[in-house]
Amino acid sequence: MEYWTCNDKNTFAYDTLARRIPIILTNVINDLSQHFNAQKTVIEEFIALKNRLVKNKIIEKFEDLGFGDENTWNTEIEKSQPTFFDCRWLFAECYIYRQMFQIISKSNTIELDIFEYRKNETLKNNIQLMIDYAEIFSKYKSKNDLNNLLKDCLWGNTLDLSLLAGQKSAAPCNAHILADDSQDFIEKVFPCEKIHIVLDNFGLELFIDLCLATFLLDHNLVKVVVFHGKAVPWFVSDVTKIDFQKFLELLSQPEFENIPAFQSLGRRWREFVECSKFVFRAEKFFTTYLPFEELQSFDSSLHEEMKSDGGVIFKGDLNYRKMTNDSKVSEITGWVNVTKFDIPSLLVRVCKSDTLVGLKSMVHVDDSNWRTKGKFGVIQSLNCSKC
Ligand SMILES: O=P(O)(O)OC[C@H]1O[C@](O)(CO)[C@@H](O)[C@@H]1O
């Protein structure tokens, strides 16, 4: 099997390491000095990380600071002692975000979210979209609307801050959904006691994901929704525990008192948390570089729990890459060739990277970059009866 690596200059993987991540690091460095008043040593460490990346140095092992995943990373690094651009793309990108967290952990500011300023800015820009979406969501009265809601969840994934480093996102439309297996997943999984949603981005996407969870509870399709977020700030806009808590509080702020839909959703979501119908968790597995087929060996109890509960909805491009192991294959390659993951799953993902599998036919588009522009999307099921 071939995987996307960073050393081929004609790939989006190379562009990510050579252009996008340095922009993200520069933004972090600027934010730390302008908005967080960070210690000089912390800023210097970020500058050093950026220099090591642009000079394509051999990557360094992690210090054991007790987070618990250091051995997993270091064992992999020791195997080949690669430079940044020698690495597999998925590994290199996750490694850089994990290094950013190490810098913060070593300072006395472990609670600092280096992406908080960017996330807050996005949130401000997303408010009107969330108000508009609350109106759409209020019209979904029947169980049959679940398919539309899943499509909304898909397009909610269009925006993410790591992708917007230096470029604009394209507007999506339903004609650009390359696969929609939602019915297979719905028939296989619902009703069930508990569904797991592996979250992606903060802002509008989280808002629509919470609407989906509300719909599933309201229609007795599930009794509990477990949201899996990130244990550390990740890929700029991914949801952490603090983001999740802040989001639920946000809707009942005085500035929104004239928006009844916000008031009522905010109140209901906080009640769902209080009576444990909404549960937020942030397992370490989701901030490793490991593909999902390694869940069983990294965290067997989470794997067992997900398997016995029913199903998992995976949001976004990074989760898709982790499911497909970032394999460099044609889009008609079957799922069995790229993953051994064995739990009924639904992958709801706007295409922002080259990896694409499991389609019925080849896609022909008059734009060689169509796979990475965020204009196409897939809703694909895995381990469901008909797939
Ligand atoms: O927020 P999402 O949908 O996971 O997208 C993030 C992913 O998209 C990219 O920006 C392009 O693949 C990656 O850097 C990252 O894997």
ipTM of the modeled complex: 0.94
**Do residue 171 and residue 91 come from a single domain?**
no
Residue 221 or residue 256, greater confidence:
221
**Do residue 161 and residue 90 come from a single domain?**
no
- Which residues form ligand 1's pocket by a CB distance below 6 Å? 16, 93, 157, 160, 162-163, 200-201, 235, 316-318, 321, 352-353
**Do residue 80 and residue 192 come from a single domain?**
no
Has residue 117 been placed in a domain? no
**Do residue 140 and residue 98 come from a single domain?**
no
Q: What are the helix and strand counts (H, E) for the chain?
A: 14, 7
**Do residue 155 and residue 85 come from a single domain?**
no
Could you tell me the residue range of the domain that residue 361 belongs to? 122-382
Instruction: Please answer whether residues 229 and 280 qualify as being in contact, where contact means their C-beta atoms are separated by less than 8 angstroms.
Output: yes
pLDDT band at 164 (very low <50, low <70, confident <90, very high): very low
Q: What is the pLDDT of residue 170?
A: 45
Give the torsion through C-alpha atoms of 101, 106, 107, 113, to 10 deg: 20
Residue 202 C-alpha to ligand 1 middle, in angstroms?
Answer: 13
* pLDDT at 159 > cutoff 70: no
pLDDT band at 167 (very low <50, low <70, confident <90, very high): very low
**Do residue 357 and residue 282 come from a single domain?**
yes
Residue 314 C-alpha to ligand 1 middle, in angstroms?
Answer: 13
Q: What share of the chain is helix, strand, coil (3-state, %, to 5)?
A: 50, 10, 35
Q: Which atom of ligand 1 is nearest to the CA of 237?
A: 1
How many folded domains does the chain comprise? 2
**Do residue 99 and residue 126 come from a single domain?**
no
**Do residue 222 and residue 276 come from a single domain?**
yes
Which residues are bridge partners to 88 per DSSP?
A: 5
Has residue 356 been placed in a domain? yes
Q: Which atom of ligand 1 is nearest to the CA of 90?
A: 16
Last residue of a domain, one of 106, 133, 150: 106
Q: For 126-144, what is the mean pLDDT?
A: 92
Last residue of a domain, one of 42, 72, 106: 106
* pLDDT at 319 > cutoff 60: yes
**Do residue 353 and residue 241 come from a single domain?**
yes
Q: Which atom of ligand 1 is nearest to the CA of 321?
A: 16
**Phi, psi for residue 347 in degrees, rounded to 5:** -105, 115
**Do residue 295 and residue 375 come from a single domain?**
yes
Has residue 276 been placed in a domain? yes
Q: Which atom of ligand 1 is nearest to the CA of 163?
A: 10
